[in-house]
Chains A and B, each alone.
Chain A
Amino acid sequence: MTPVLEISGLRKTYRSRKGARNALDGFDMVVEAGQVHGFLGPNGSGKTTTLRTLLGLIRPDGGRMALLGREVPWHLPEVAGRVGAIVESPQFFGRFTAETTLSLLADAGGVDRARVPAVLDLVGLRDRAKEKVKTYSLGMKQRLAVASALLKEPTLLILDEPANGLDPGGIREMRTLMRDLSASGMTVLLSSHILAEIQLICDSVTIISAGRRITAGSVAEVLAQHTSGAVRVRLEPDTDQEEAARILREAGAQVTVETAGQLTVRDVTGPAQITRLLAQREIYLCELTPIAADLEDVFLELTGTTPVEGHHRQVDENALAVGQNGWGR
């Protein structure tokens, strides 16, 4: 498969009177055709900056980008017609109706205006299409933005937090919509903070922190790379919990004693080794479960943003950030 989106070494520094901020610091990303690709990262890590740069709204300070096989921003006009996008919290001219807004975009982009009612219907705005956009709620504006992105019948869809403001039903509809679009051959790049959602619908993910890629790959790969390797062990009632822990520790494992005959064991070669070690001392198990990491665990671990009790994490505090992402000269 050929990548529809490639970024390498992307740099962007925002300059202001206070100094310069490296929003992107040599960022790389690849999205293969036909995938639904999740784009994750803590607040301020550079997701929106990346997407805006890709779409030609922001000029990069370095690095290369290609969309649908063409270098951008130089060849952006050639591919813009096939890239549907919504950027963070999309805004529209409030005094126009949704219908007018979309038909003006259709005219500007040379798309048939007749598609407008269809996309409005698709996002559930059909009955409100003739109302002014300024009277719309947050989620309705978000739906309108999705409609505008779909209007082009894009081959690549770039969505920056599309679920922002959507109601639970809307989120689920969005999920179904993305599955359908992907099934019809569209590639979707999706940034979101709702990790359960991403885990459900994405084939692959890229995680960014402090302007750099910290991991990428299929969801399964990312989860596997970073499974804790931890196993939950439940002992038979009346077994000596401390004894079992000691045996495992001697074998080099890291053991946490939980309540009621439960141990969490890390750093062992495998569950088989646990059973063997304990059985040799006539300690028997009644349960042995590998603890599966979910995307949230992986995310928190990799980005170093796991909440610590009694500490208020500041936005720029994360795995890579030390001395890098602050305001500086």
Chain B
Amino acid sequence: MSLVRAETRRLFRRRLTSVLLIGVVLVLAAIAAGTFVSNEKAIPAQVAAAKQQAARQYQEAAAAAEVEKLRCLAAAPGSAEAANFPANCADLYTPRPSEFEYVWYLPETFELRDEFPEMISLFALLMAAAAYLIGATFVGAEWHSGAMMNLLLWRPQRLVVLGTKLGVFLGWLAGVTVLLGAAWAGAFRLIAEFRGDTGRMTSGVWQSFGLMGLRSLGLVLAVGAIGFALASLGRHTGMALGALIGLTAVQIGVYVLAGFSGLKFPEAYLVPLWGYVWLYKREVLEDWSCDGMTAGGDCAAETFTMTWQMAGVGSAVVLAVVVGAAMWAMRVRDVN
């Protein structure tokens, strides 16, 4: 228990932890404020005003076209003026009323049901990035500075030490993510109330938002744990960042190779896509190589539906391998 308390204190005494957390909160607040400012509730008076504006725009455009047509007719054939116009003045552009839809003249309005999922994934992305960095520096700086060695002189059980650190970090990360997530959902509920539309929000929709939120939490924790484990493996924060660059290179390599070797759906090997699928539940990948021609000779795409379960299992394997390697290294390595 004393170790848990010490690690909690250590985590929140780190300046980077607070800087990153405050940064995330500020960015989230800025996004929410921006959404609030750039959206407006659609009230009937605005709809009427928009319709008027659309009609006015149409009339202006029509009048301008009429003037052009008159100039065209007035121009003597063969003159310099006539060169600016088509031979037949009836070919000149004439605007139609359908080209001026009134919705364009309505202010932006926030549709909770359609737009909130994107906000959840934005939240997950931001939190995951912060979690990766906080996790990596939390243990990386500890190794690099020699503080880990000092700690091991006090608590020689290495797996307990690393496990407690990881546990404390993930515990607090989960708490903070849930709290911020709740605030985030509340903020957008209010934005929809005042600057948009909360229509069609059945309990089923709320439930699906909740589940997406839970999957986001899972994603944030997993990314945090991977950052932590990579930095511990490399005994340096920089290793986690280097690994990120390395992994990007490997991913591009795998993608290109998979494409070359004629594997179908090379995107399926991209880990970031797994994250996307994990959040949005499914993604249909298409293959247009047309091995399977239809009877008519035209090409039908083959499809592969990636589900969040597949993405989850894939990510869990990656997570287990990385964290397992970090634990194993902790057990056997010499600490110099």
Closest approach, in angstroms, between the C-beta of A87 and any C-beta of chain B?
Answer: 7
Whether the pair A108, B15 counts as a contact (CB closer than 8 A) is no
A to B CB contacts below 8 Å, 18 in the list: A58-B334, A58-B335, A59-B332, A77-B156, A77-B157, A80-B156, A85-B153, A91-B147, A92-B147, A93-B146, A95-B14, A95-B15, A104-B9, A104-B10, A105-B151, A107-B3, A107-B9, A108-B154
Place the interface of chain A in its size category: 20 to 34
Whether the pair A100, B150 counts as a contact (CB closer than 8 A) is no
Answer yes or no: B13 CB below 8 A from chain A CBs.
yes
Shortest Cβ-Cβ A-B pairs, 8 listed: A91-B146, A107-B6, A108-B6, A109-B154, A93-B147, A57-B335, A93-B145, A110-B2
**Which residues of chain A are within 8 angstroms of B151 by Cβ–Cβ distance?**
105, 108
Bits for B1-20, please: 1 = Cβ < 8 Å to A, else 0. Answer: 01101110110011100000
Answer yes or no: A244 CB below 8 A from chain B CBs.
no
Residues of B at the A interface (CB closer than 8 Å) are 2-3, 5-7, 9-10, 13-15, 141-142, 145-147, 149-157, 332, 334-336
Expressed in whole angstroms, the Cα–Cα distance for A280 and B15 within the complex equals 86
Closest approach, in angstroms, between the C-beta of B235 and any C-beta of chain A?
Answer: 13
**Which residues of chain B are within 8 angstroms of A92 by Cβ–Cβ distance?**
145-147, 150
Nearest A residue to B157 via CB reads A77
Expressed in whole angstroms, the Cα–Cα distance for A108 and B14 within the complex equals 16
Expressed in whole angstroms, the Cα–Cα distance for A87 and B9 within the complex equals 25
Nearest A residue to B160 via CB reads A77
Answer yes or no: A56 CB below 8 A from chain B CBs.
yes
**Which residues of chain A are within 8 angstroms of B5 by Cβ–Cβ distance?**
107
Nearest A residue to B3 via CB reads A108
Known: A80-B154, A110-B2. 9 other contacts (CB 8 A): A52-B335, A56-B156, A57-B336, A59-B332, A77-B157, A80-B155, A91-B149, A109-B2, A109-B154
Answer yes or no: A318 CB below 8 A from chain B CBs.
no
**Which residues of chain B are within 8 angstroms of A87 by Cβ–Cβ distance?**
149, 153
Bits for A96-129, please: 1 = Cβ < 8 Å to B, else 0. Answer: 1000110011011110000000000000000000
Nearest B residue to A48 via CB reads B336
Closest approach, in angstroms, between the C-beta of B331 and any C-beta of chain A?
Answer: 10
Whether the pair B156, A93 counts as a contact (CB closer than 8 A) is no
Expressed in whole angstroms, the Cα–Cα distance for A104 and B334 within the complex equals 23
Expressed in whole angstroms, the Cα–Cα distance for A92 and B143 within the complex equals 10
Expressed in whole angstroms, the Cα–Cα distance for A100 and B14 within the complex equals 11
**Which residues of chain B are within 8 angstroms of A93 by Cβ–Cβ distance?**
141-142, 145-147
Closest approach, in angstroms, between the C-beta of B76 and any C-beta of chain A?
Answer: 84
Whether the pair B153, A55 counts as a contact (CB closer than 8 A) is yes
Whether the pair B334, A59 counts as a contact (CB closer than 8 A) is yes
**Which residues of chain B are within 8 angstroms of A110 by Cβ–Cβ distance?**
2
Answer yes or no: A185 CB below 8 A from chain B CBs.
no
Answer yes or no: A288 CB below 8 A from chain B CBs.
no
Answer yes or no: A76 CB below 8 A from chain B CBs.
yes
Bits for A130-154, please: 1 = Cβ < 8 Å to B, else 0. Answer: 0000000000000000001000100
Nearest B residue to A14 via CB reads B334
